[in-house]
Amino acid sequence: MASSDFIPGYSFSVNLDGFNYSFSRVSNLSGAMEIDTIIEGGNNDAPVILRKPKKSPDYLILERALHSTVADVAFSFFKEGRQISAITITVKRNGKTVRMFFITNGVIVQREFSPMDALESSVLLQSLKIAHTGITELPLPFGM
């Protein structure tokens, strides 16, 4: 595999319920399942792994700088407890979509702002922590 096959730069866009928003960081883009491990007697050399019903959600964290525009007013409606029925994260390489992630039935469980310090000239950041039940990934190796 050539180094040119990797996706550099992380050019991505995030769509929440049909509206595109710019985020500087997407983290916890992961899913997990819960298992039970059973040790049987006899000549078994390995445990039996069984899938359990999922009892706890996975979490996605979206971070963005706050703006002073009309679009930012619309973003302020994303508060704790708000349900987001569809999240689409599109990863691009050279302007072409190479990977997409889909999340359904998300709920905003935490909204956090960066510390405000008058002695620094930093940008005010907002992060959303969204609970969900799983991610579907669609790899597009040749881009759309």
For residue 89, the enclosing domain spans: 3-139
Where does the pLDDT of residue 68 fall: very low under 50, low under 70, confident under 90, or very high at 90 and above?
Answer: low
Would the pLDDT of 5 be above 90?
A: no
User: Could you tell me which residues are beta bridge partners of residue 131?
Assistant: 59, 107
Instruction: Tell me if 133 is assigned to some domain.
Output: yes
Where does the pLDDT of residue 31 fall: very low under 50, low under 70, confident under 90, or very high at 90 and above?
Answer: confident
Instruction: Tell me if 50 is assigned to some domain.
Output: yes
Instruction: Tell me if 108 is assigned to some domain.
Output: yes
Please identify which residue in the block is written with the tokens 């491990």: 37
- What total number of domains does the chain contain? 1
Question: What is the per-residue pLDDT across 38-57, written as a single tens digit (0 to 9) for each?
Answer: 887 776 778 888 898 888 89
Instruction: Tell me if 85 is assigned to some domain.
Output: yes
Tokens for 5? 């096959």
Q: What is the CATH number of the domain that holds 64?
A: 2.30.110.20
Instruction: Tell me if 72 is assigned to some domain.
Output: yes
Instruction: Tell me if 49 is assigned to some domain.
Output: yes
Instruction: Tell me if 144 is assigned to some domain.
Output: no
pLDDT of residue 55: 86
β pairing state of 25-27 and 58-65 = antiparallel
Whether pTM exceeds 0.75: yes
